[in-house]
Amino acid sequence: MTHYISAQFLDITTIQELIHSDTKLALSESAMNKIVACRTYLDKRLENQSTPIYGINTGFGSLCNVKISNEHLSKLQENLVMSHACGTGDRVPLEIIKLMLLLKVQSLSYGHSGVQLETVQRLIDFYNHDILPVVFEQGSLGASGDLAPLAHLSLPLLGKGSVYYKGEEVAAETVLKEFNWSPIRLMAKEGLALLNGTQFMSAYGVYSLLKAYKLSYFSDLFAAISLEGFDGRIEPFSDLIHLIRPHKGQLKTAKRIQEFVDGSELISQEKKHVQDPYSFRCVPQVHGASKDTLDFVRKTFETEINSVTDNPNIFIEQDVIISGGNFHGQPLALGLDYLAIAVAELGNISERRTFQLVSGLRELPAFLVNNPGLNSGFMIPQYTAASIVSQNKQYATPASVDSIVSSNGQEDHVSMGANAATKALKVIDNVERVLAIELLNASQALVFRAPLKSSEFIETFLEMYRAEVPFVDEDRELHIAIGDTLSFLHYVSVEKEVLFE
């Protein structure tokens, strides 16, 4: 199966299908024509123009006023890639590196970047053969683009740097020889086109957003299971309540909870209590606000990944080359910070539900275990969840309000979107762990409600879950149960029509 890169809108549902399949990339005929036309225009322009054009025949950053002679233009671009490969820290996950390749190809395909067709095709070859450049998390200020990470992404084009190939890290030069590929000889402008851009931030954002949508669904499902375990009330999920405050996410959450518990004996039994705590009663309002945030962030990132984000930009029809700032990551930085905050809240309220479940309330045993005292039961998983949500409060401090001067003052305001990107994923991974702990507790609580049953949907889900993580009758190593729960969640798939409705 082949996905053709073209001007057709690339959305996150398509990306989800690509990263979960063996689909290959190819350039459409129109994309190839645009790339070739732009390169031809630039070459002719350089033949007939002696005045400086930023990044094409000048130095970079604060060296923008240094004119470079035509015979050194290729060397200039190669030096740019090598000198900017200054990444450090942890290595970027393979799935995100592959997304970076996809998004860089998409951006270059619009014909405003002046790259050779051969260069774009080699990036596609890397993608199709799972040749993934080694990229590091740290080094980008989020303007002018993701310079250091994209330099590492580009080094293997030159036969330099390292790549992951067939489960090993090897020298890029070795892999090029295996495929009988010659290193790319970069032409004028190409190094800057490869390094300017927001593909590091965008790849992290898309990957995080896809995971966040799945966690949003799990948040609703586990809240419903907790509600059943806590013998909660259904009235706060009534349509009447939400139609008079009709936020889209709130309405969607209330409807989903109603569907999850439909037919439950537990939810329909007479209650001894008049009200539930906020962590149950306000699930539509809290989860719903996070859903609305995901939709906002999705719009931001879908706009970005269908954009040209290098600099300068070439406009053939208007016969102009303009140096601007499309590489600036401010829209992404704000979106990533907002995403981190919204998902962190799903973890915050989840931990509170876990706390209520282990508190010995509503005829549940203390810490959800037989013989409490002899057994500590689920006392400490709640501690673990509490420590994680507290860490998330620190991670959720916005990166986008920060800036620092670089390049001798030429680049005097930056987005810090790369830092926002890496810590947003940390928040999302943390919330997955918190939700796993809630599921562990909620499924345990429901056992103490027997012989009454929950809905058919919830009982079927829990039957699959308990096959992997059985009821805890007496104390055992619960970190194993948490790990097994996480493995179970990774295994569970949710249809895209449900995730993105």
Residues 494 and 403 in one domain: yes
Q: Do residue 21 and residue 92 come from a single domain?
A: yes
Residue 311's region, left for phi above 0, alpha for psi from -120 to 50, else beta, is: beta
Does residue 348 contact residue 394 with C-beta atoms inside 8 Å? no
- Of the residues 41, 54, 127, 338, only one is catalytic, namely 54
The answer to whether residue 239 is domain-embedded is yes
Where do we find the tokens 């509170």? 352
119 & 217 share domain = no
HEC letters along 231-286: CCCCHHHCHHHHHCCCCHHHHHHHHHHHHHHCCCHHHHCCCCCCCCCHHHHCHHHH
- Same domain? 181 vs 231: no
Tens of pLDDT, residue by residue, the chain (501 residues): 899 998 789 999 999 999 889 999 999 999 999 999 999 999 999 888 777 777 677 766 666 666 766 777 788 889 999 999 999 999 999 999 999 999 999 999 999 999 999 999 999 999 999 999 999 999 999 988 899 999 999 999 999 999 999 999 999 999 999 999 999 999 989 999 999 999 999 999 999 999 999 999 999 999 999 999 999 999 999 999 999 999 999 999 999 999 999 999 999 999 999 999 999 999 999 999 999 999 999 999 999 999 999 999 999 999 999 999 999 999 999 999 999 999 999 999 999 999 999 999 999 999 999 888 888 889 999 999 999 999 999 999 999 999 999 887 788 899 999 999 999 999 999 999 999 999 999 999 999 999 999 999 999 999 999 999 999 998 899 999 999 999 999 999 898 888 887
What is the C-alpha separation between 116 and 113, in angstroms, rounded? 9
The alpha helices in 307-416, defined as continuous H runs, are: 330-357, 379-395
Ordered DSSP codes for 193-212: HHHSS-HHHHHHHHHHHHHH
Answer whether residue 347 is part of any domain: yes
Residues 225, 351: one domain? yes
Q: What is the CB-side half-sphere exposure of residue 246 using CA atoms within 13 A?
A: 4
In a domain, 323, yes or no: no
Tell me, yes or no, whether 167 lies in a domain.
yes
Instruction: Tell me how far CA of residue 232 lies from CA of 6, 224, 225, 237, 265, in angstroms.
Output: 51, 9, 10, 11, 12
Q: Which one, of 453, 438, 465, lies nearest residue 226 by Cα?
A: 438
CB 118 within 8 A of CB 27: no
Provide the pLDDT for residue 268. Answer: 95
- Rounded to whole angstroms, how far apart are CA atoms 254 and 260? 10
Q: Determine the Cα–Cα distance for residues 254 and 236; give it in Å rounded to an integer.
A: 8
User: Residue 136 forms beta bridges with which residues?
Assistant: 91
Q: Which long-range contacts link 49-56 to residues 24+ away (Cβ below 8 Å)?
A: 53/312, 53/321, 54/311, 54/312, 54/323, 55/189, 55/192, 55/196, 55/311, 55/312, 55/323, 56/114, 56/188, 56/189, 56/192, 56/312, 56/321
Question: Does residue 333 lie in a domain region?
Answer: no
Q: Please check whether residue 74 lies inside any domain of the structure.
A: yes
CB atoms within 10 A of CB 324: 9
Q: Is 491 a catalytic residue?
A: no
The two tokens of residue 24 are 């290959």
The DSSP 8-state label assigned to residue 58 in this structure reads B
**CATH number for position 398:** 1.20.200.10
Last residue of a domain, one of 141, 167, 197: 197
Q: Which two tokens stand for residue 105?
A: 């190809």
Q: Are residues 134 and 253 in the same domain?
A: no
Bridge partners of 132, per DSSP, are: 164
* Total count of domains within the chain: 2
Give the pLDDT score at 262.
98
The whole-angstrom separation of Cα 122 and Cα 33 is 17
**What's the predicted TM-score (pTM) here?**
0.95
For residues 355 and 237, state if they share a domain: yes
The domain of 75 spans 2-197
